[in-house]
Chain A
Amino acid sequence: MLGGLGESLVPVEGVSIGGKIILYNNGLIPTCFLELRVVDPPYGYSVASCSPVQPRQIDVVSLGATISPGEYVVIARTLHNKIVTFRVVFR
């Protein structure tokens, strides 16, 4: 239950080349994304290399392929099985 309460990954920025999303762990516990799906506009599904980010630290997760610049809606599942939806602008 504490995992659900204290888990918060915030997208900082998207990088078009390589489909990278820079993340900040704003929660209380180490966490990361296990899988990501770009849903709007539909782009694809990616199983991420989940290496836990410590609280108050920054890390990057990759979609595995270059994504065209623009704003996307992404659904992701975290290490503690929390499903989150967020918007990210890839530049």
Chain B
Amino acid sequence: MTESGRIGVKAVSTVIAAVIVLTIFLGLASAIYAGIFQLGNESGNLVKREAERAMEAFFQIYWLNETHVVLFNNHSSVPIKLLYWVRVNPDSGSYTVYNLFNSLDPAKYTVKPSGMKIVDIRTEVPTRNRDSVDRVVSERGSILRGGRCPQPAIPTLHAG
């Protein structure tokens, strides 16, 4: 091979090596960028979820009678989905977790903003026990109390 031929081969192999190095570099850079983007996205989703969870604090659940509960979502701008109903018996130390998402109607325990529902809870949770303490867990992790109907802020005045 002539001197010029040798130089030509060397130049081609240098170009090929440069292309390989560049490809590896671009691959690494894009993987790192994708990782950072995904992490940022995940972090944003968690902050959004936490803000929505804070809005669930005003959600109310209370027994209307022995079989029906009121789900009242009048003070938030997010729909609320209830997942679990937890009943504790303080006397025995036993607890029972009832799955609300096993309901035949998947939307039964989801309440839209400014919405109110009266649901017959008997198919998912046994009827109210006067001594039991009930907690309800929403999909976003709010822990709500399933209790008695709230009292009015201003006491009712009776004439006479």
- Residues from 113 to 158 in B contacting A, C-beta threshold 8 Å: 133, 135, 137, 139-141, 143
The answer to whether B135 and A10 have CB atoms under 8 Å apart is no
B93 at the interface (CB under 8 A from A): yes
A72 at the interface (CB under 8 A from B): no
Given known A-B contacts A12-B86, A18-B93, A58-B97, A5 and B42 have beta carbons under 8 A apart: yes
Give chain B's interface residue range (CB within 8 Å of chain A).
Answer: 20 to 34
The answer to whether B137 and A12 have CB atoms under 8 Å apart is yes
The answer to whether A20 and B93 have CB atoms under 8 Å apart is yes
B109 at the interface (CB under 8 A from A): no
B95 at the interface (CB under 8 A from A): yes
| A–B complex contacts, Cβ < 8 Å, 17 sampled | A1-B39, A5-B39, A10-B137, A15-B95, A17-B93, A18-B93, A20-B93, A20-B95, A22-B88, A24-B84, A24-B137, A26-B53, A56-B139, A58-B137, A60-B95, A91-B90, A91-B133
Instruction: Tell which of A20, A26, A58, A66 touches B140, judged by Cβ atoms closer than 8 Å.
Output: A26
In the bound complex, CA of A1 to CA of B39 (Å): 9
* B interface residue numbers (CB < 8 A to A): 39, 42-43, 46, 53, 83-84, 86, 88, 90, 92-93, 95, 97, 133, 135, 137, 139-141, 143
- CB B143 to nearest CB in A, in angstroms, measures 5
The answer to whether A58 and B93 have CB atoms under 8 Å apart is no
In the bound complex, CA of A68 to CA of B72 (Å): 34
Q: Which residues of B contact A11 (CB under 8 A)?
A: 143
Instruction: Tell which of B43, B95, B139, B141 touches A13, judged by Cβ atoms closer than 8 Å.
Output: B95
Closest to A10 in B: B141
In the bound complex, CA of A73 to CA of B90 (Å): 20
In the bound complex, CA of A20 to CA of B92 (Å): 12
